[in-house]
Structure 1
Amino acid sequence: MASKVFSAFFLLSTFGDVSAFWRMECHGRTGLARIDPIMDAGVISPHIHTVHGSSGFSLSATYDELRQGSCSSCAVKQDKSAYWTPALYFQDSDTKQFEIVPQVGGMLAYYLLRGDNVTAFPPGFQMVAGSNYRRDYTVGDPKSPDPPQSDWAALKQTSQNDLEQRAIGFNCMNYHKEPEGSLLRHYLPEKEYLDANCPDGIRIELMFPSCWNGDITAKDHKSHVAYPSLVGNGDCPESHPKRLVTLFYETIWDTGNKQFHGRNGQFVVSNGDPTGFGYHGDFMTGWDVDFLQEAIDTCTNDSGNIRDCQLFVNNGPLQTDEEQNSCEFDVPPMLAQEDGSARNLANLPGNIQIQAGPQSATPGVGDSNPLSPIISAATSLIGGFFAGSPEPTTSSSIPAVTSSSAPVASTSSIAPVESAPASQQFGALAVPPAETPAETPSTTSSTSSTPPPPPPPTTTSAPAPSSEPGVSYQVVSTQTVTRGSLVEVIIWKEPVVYITEDSVTTVTVESPAVKPRRFYGRHAMQHGHHARRS
């Protein structure tokens, strides 16, 4: 237990102002999936994320849907927020295959109460920290210690771009030594270094901006917030005078596990980043505003332990680790066949390619949807159905695949944004897709059609080829989804294989698509600040 307390002390001593904070324990993982309702609302995300918090998480999750989630994977059941980051994988240099790195104890979300008049997150608030495509460090030598914070202004290292790069940390875990200070290292160490120095894994840290201009979100989901002048402390820019809770994510990955130790290979973030410079995180609030504001005003014990906050305890009991680990979100059918925790993956989920930089990564590398041929055909038919309609369809729950005959680079809505003026450089990740209407989609029941009878016993020609040689598709069911004034028709198709024998063509219809399943893996270990490897 001494190591855990010591680790917390090092975090706080790094940033100062230790009088008020708490650590939200989220020992459960609600899922591991290519879902990002902020950057890729309504469509499949290019890369996989590890997700914690509300079971109301989904492709197009909203504040109300998070609040209506049946459970939370965090200790305080009132916390229906969603916290997510990219996952970490190991690539074997001999086989070129990938394996998920086990998480240790889920994650911690620190709520640091810095500055004056700290305000609770308003309903619908969301934000992103970090830049997905970054593959370089521009604030000096990343392998050298940061200069003293008192020198940052004189060195002209207080732009939002500079502060964002310093808001990421990779903490070497060795419980037999004095712990490292948080945000000490801003890059993912090479595997050789981790094997030699970090037997208890790597703790990836991320500080979120805490200065606010009063908007719920922004086009880039970032520029409505800004970092104070010292990342976690300091002064807010005049454009963002209000102070929110300072969020700090902490996730431990078991890179020291015996299944990786001594093997040739590299660790890589699931967005294809082996450097760590492109690490990032997302947050959507699911708190009741009054409850969170009361916690901000009253949970000021300097221990940081949520059990020392009477508001949490009196509205408890706090959830056990078993309860936290039993909370999951529903995986959408289009991702049911993708298991990001499977062993010996030929590619990173989404076929994301590794890009080490130093130039920025290229968006849209890899086909992010394993079912693109079927969904492409359905999307094409839907597009024809709505031809001439004035309503936009880019917020469809079907990935935005444009053609079933040509290769698709990516179903993601991510695209680079134009540079903002120098005074407003907030390191934007991407322009979002068209906004999804606020109404919750209402879905009607599916109706199934029977397969057509086989052709007469004469030699016939197969239908025109589809995007897969020798395979065509027939409609087996339809689904209607209403989003406000927009009505969508989802057409489900199954492959039909034609086999000709003795001048008789037989039609064989494959069994229905695989039913949705969850591919969430349990954790045997809990948060490992205090654990020691035997």
Structure 2
Amino acid sequence: MAAAALLLASLSGVDAFWRMDCHSPLGIARIDPLVNYGEIAAHSHIIFGGDNFSPTAGYDDLIASESTSCRAKEDKSAYWTPSFHFKHSDGTIEVVGNQGGMLAYYFLRDGGTGKEIKAFPAGFKMIAGDTNKRNYTGPVPTPPQSTWGPDLLTQASLAERALGFNCLDYANPIPEGSLTRHFLPDKSFLDANCKDGIRLELAFPACWNEAAGVAPKGYKSHVAYPDLVQDGVCPDGFSTRLPGLFYETIWRTQDFVGKDGEFVISNGDPTGYGYHGDFISGWEVETLQSAVDTCTNLNGELESCPVFTLQTQPEMAAVKLTMPGDLKNENCAGPESALPGNVAIQSGPQPATENHAGAAAPTYAASSYAAPSYAVSSKPVVSTPAVSAKLPAYSKPSYAGSFSIQDIHAAGVASTSSIATSEASSTSAAVYVAVTPAPSAPVESDGGSIIGTTTYTSDGAVWEVAIKEIDITVTAEPTGAARRRRHLAQHRHVGDRHGL
């Protein structure tokens, strides 16, 4: 295990992480003490954390919370994102069911610098994402990290790639990786492919400019992304490394299969580009620093950290928001004739106008926005009839000995000795091979090189993935061999997932 841990750290910069399970929301309400302090917020949010959350909540309020909807009693932080809704063809709108609350990952990554990771200081607040954004400026699909040039390393570009919309199908042997799709798929794609819903993902900046303070106006200028979004080197002026915060929230889009309409985020965004999240630390600094320093397991399990006092799921579910009087009668769940706050649905590509509470909401047809149509590389596009042949075990080079190599599965290409990827134009695609008849020789490798890594969770397990470029040879009778350069995803199980 020591050797495996060393290899994993060298490949991905992951020294440790834990998953803070916030199994049940405090509630869904138009409350946002960062953007709309002391007021009714412009749009609704799903909220987790300390029970003292309110339109005026700050660090001292959260620390004084009697309880939290998150699993570790020591974590009184506030975590919130926009809620997720479905607009029916008759114009009525209702909230989509949430599956299992949310997970807040704390990644302890130093970008290979060896620098100390510091706990969030008292009073620390930040926002990730831009509620008014309705376009994407980067290449689709995203190139491998090893090829990112200056245009992809700006903070604006990195922030675009800090959003993820993960299509969930637990029967798929190769799930989509985290942060691989940066837009909300349209309903037809969700109905056909995402049998277990969609997971909305958000990575927060992990580099801090201490001189800028803990909560400057706008709650963004004091932090920055490292140059690989979740890992890598911090930019000049942002030298303090913080835990890498990462939100996952699952929504039950499968409940709306066959129903006519569109999905939309509560800020009026049907594209996903305007997804965002907020965070106010509710940790005692010494407690969080102790966890950062001592909870260095690779499995992500809270049970592995003696710093935390853990709650049961019923205890978390019992913690609810004290709703302000002027919001007690608001029905954010619906069905209603408009989004909470009467927010306008705006599909862009120009930035959305500010959505102020009470503003008249214009109507938009469901067809006003068309999601980009590309396939994320880690999930094959399967044609009918699908080819189900599996290749023999891959011959691993010595440095990858601690990995268990995932089988390569057919992607439905019927021709003999053919190499297919789920996105032909993508240089980051995993390899899928369809062979008729079955191959008579194993896949061979020239060793290749690691070109990128990622972490994802699937069906109760956490995997660390190394993407490696290799030459492969497939021999099939009677047509001989085909040789192509492609990328292979190597998966290593690093822990089990809780609460979902």
Superposition TM-score, scaled by structure 1 size: 0.64
CA distance in 2, matches of 1:255, 1:81: 28
CA distance in 2, matches of 1:101, 1:55: 23
Runs (5+) with no aligned partner, structure 2: 363-456, 462-500
CA distance in 1, matches of 2:24, 2:341: 24
CA distance in 1, matches of 2:23, 2:198: 17
Shift of residue 33, structure 1, vs aligned partner: 0.3
CA distance in 1, matches of 2:458, 2:54: 29
Give the aligned partner of residue 441 of structure 1: none
CA distance in 2, matches of 1:140, 1:40: 34
Match of 1:175 among 164, 170, 174: 170
Match of 2:102 among 98, 107, 119: 107
Correspondence 1:254-403 to 2 at 5 A: 254-257=252-255, 260-312=256-308, 316=309, 318-342=310-334, 344-364=335-355, 367=358
- Deviation per CA, 1:72-119: give whole Å up to 9, x if none: 0011011000000001000112x1111100111000000000112100
- Deviation per CA, 1:57-82: give whole Å up to 9, x if none: 00000111111111100110110000
- Deviation per CA, 1:274-330: give whole Å up to 9, x if none: 000000000000000000000000001000111111222xxx2x1110001110121
Secondary structure of 2:152's counterpart equals coil
Give the aligned partner of residue 199 of structure 2: 203
Correspondence 1:176-255 to 2 at 5 A: 176-177=171-172, 178-214=174-210, 215-255=213-253
> How many percent identity over aligned positions?
50
Shift of residue 152, structure 1, vs aligned partner: 1.1
Structure 1 residue runs of 4+, over 3 Å off? 527-531
Give the aligned partner of residue 48 of structure 1: 44
Match of 2:85 among 61, 85, 89: 89
Give the aligned partner of residue 129 of structure 1: 128
Residues 252 and 528 of structure 1 are in contact (CA less than 8 Å); yes or no, is this contact kept in structure 2?
Answer: no
Secondary structure of 1:236's counterpart equals coil
Residues 353 and 366 of structure 1 are in contact (CA less than 8 Å); yes or no, is this contact kept in structure 2?
Answer: no
Residues 105 and 528 of structure 1 are in contact (CA less than 8 Å); yes or no, is this contact kept in structure 2?
Answer: no
Secondary structure of 1:19's counterpart equals strand
Secondary structure of 1:350's counterpart equals helix
Give the aligned partner of residue 469 of structure 2: none
Secondary structure of 1:310's counterpart equals coil
Q: Which amino acid aligns with 1:325?
A: A
Secondary structure of 1:334's counterpart equals helix
Secondary structure of 1:113's counterpart equals strand
CA distance in 2, matches of 1:530, 1:341: 28
Residues 187 and 263 of structure 2 are in contact (CA less than 8 Å); yes or no, is this contact kept in structure 1?
Answer: yes
CA distance in 2, matches of 1:289, 1:224: 18
Correspondence 1:423-462 to 2 at 5 A: none
Give the aligned partner of residue 425 of structure 2: none
Report 1 or 2 for greater relative contact order, CA contacts < 8 Å, sequence distance ≥ 6. Answer: 1
- Deviation per CA, 1:116-156: give whole Å up to 9, x if none: 21000011100000000000001123xxx2111111125x2
Q: Which amino acid aligns with 2:354?
A: P
CA distance in 2, matches of 1:160, 1:309: 33
Distance 1:366 1:292, change over 3 A: closer
CA distance in 2, matches of 1:28, 1:239: 38
Shift of residue 179, structure 1, vs aligned partner: 1.3
- Deviation per CA, 1:487-534: give whole Å up to 9, x if none: xxxxxxxxxxxxxxxxxxxxxxxxxxxxxxxxxxxxxxxx99449xxx
Shift of residue 234, structure 1, vs aligned partner: 1.0
- Deviation per CA, 1:249-283: give whole Å up to 9, x if none: 000001012xx111111100000000000000000
Shift of residue 408, structure 1, vs aligned partner: 12
Residues 90 and 98 of structure 1 are in contact (CA less than 8 Å); yes or no, is this contact kept in structure 2?
Answer: yes
Q: Which amino acid aligns with 2:99?
A: V
Q: Larger % of strand: which?
A: 2
Runs (5+) with no aligned partner, structure 1: 1-8, 369-406, 410-526
CA distance in 2, matches of 1:219, 1:352: 24
Secondary structure of 2:21's counterpart equals strand
Secondary structure of 1:268's counterpart equals strand
Superposition TM-score, scaled by structure 2 size: 0.68
Query: What RMSD over aligned residues (CA atoms) do the two structures have, in Å?
Result: 2.1
Give the aligned partner of residue 58 of structure 1: 54
Q: Which amino acid aligns with 1:138?
A: T
Residues 175 and 530 of structure 1 are in contact (CA less than 8 Å); yes or no, is this contact kept in structure 2?
Answer: no
Secondary structure of 2:67's counterpart equals coil
Residues 268 and 343 of structure 2 are in contact (CA less than 8 Å); yes or no, is this contact kept in structure 1?
Answer: yes
Residues 211 and 243 of structure 1 are in contact (CA less than 8 Å); yes or no, is this contact kept in structure 2?
Answer: yes
Secondary structure of 2:79's counterpart equals strand
Structure number, greater radius of gyration: 1
